[in-house]
Amino acid sequence: MTRNVIITGGGAGIGRATALAFAAQGDHVIIAERDATAGESVAKEIKASGGSAAAIRVDVTIPADLDRLAETAGRADVLVNNAGIFGIKPFFDIVADDFRRTYEVNVVSVFELTRRLAPQMPEGAAIVNISSRSIQGAMNYAHYIASKSAIVGLTRAMALELADRRIRVNAVSPGAIKTEMLASRPDTDFAGMLKHQPLGRLGEPEDIAASIVFLASPGASFITGQLLAVDGGRSLGGPYGF
């Protein structure tokens, strides 16, 4: 049976790579994307290669959009909560509204969409949330780190809450991944990042997509409530003992 896979923020970067990966194995992919043009572009790319896909414009902070997505999707075999925002601000420049906006997109939307879709998910369904390696510690985006740390706790709670429905919930923690978002950041220093990468390279969106596809696969049927770090060993630390 063809699975229905819903991916929020599926129009670019990790979301796009994940959509292509699921489609390549025969799943029907629903790309939920605020940028309608980007979403349609990915759907067309999938169809051009013989896959099955649809795009729907969704702002994950708007309840009516989430309602429409749930109605349009019907059965949901896999949900990838990938949509998120990122902001760079020194600690003393961050204001409360930065936290509110970041949590609304990165955390609250995950709960709200899952709450709508879980009743439409069959036994054996899977949810994969996206956290971040930054939860290990980083400077200049405390509000973002707090939101991605919250995703870890929410994932564990959801895994327990949905276990009786036989729905598995896991999270992926990407490290430095070569996406448009990373390239556009004013603080991005690729040479500096490479110095802290034990495997000697930055990640590709496809690296994260592969981990998401695995966690949603039958091969991961006994895995739930876990955080999988996909960061090239970055979270292990560095070469120095201090």
The gap from C-alpha 88 to its chain's centroid, in whole angstroms, comes to 19
Determine phi and psi for 80, rounding to 5 degrees. -110, 110
The C-alpha atoms of residue 42 and residue 190 are separated, in whole angstroms, by 27
The C-alpha atoms of residue 101 and residue 130 are separated, in whole angstroms, by 17
- Angle (CA) 212-218-222 rounded to 5° is 90
Residue in 103, 141, 144, 240 annotated catalytic: 144
Length of the chain: 242
Q: Which two tokens stand for residue 30?
A: 């629903």
103 as an active site residue: the answer is no
**Closest C-alpha to 175, from 155, 141, 205:** 205
Helix (H, G, I), strand (E, B) or coil at 201: coil
The C-alpha atoms of residue 121 and residue 25 are separated, in whole angstroms, by 20
The C-alpha atoms of residue 25 and residue 205 are separated, in whole angstroms, by 17
Give the catalytic positions in this structure. 144
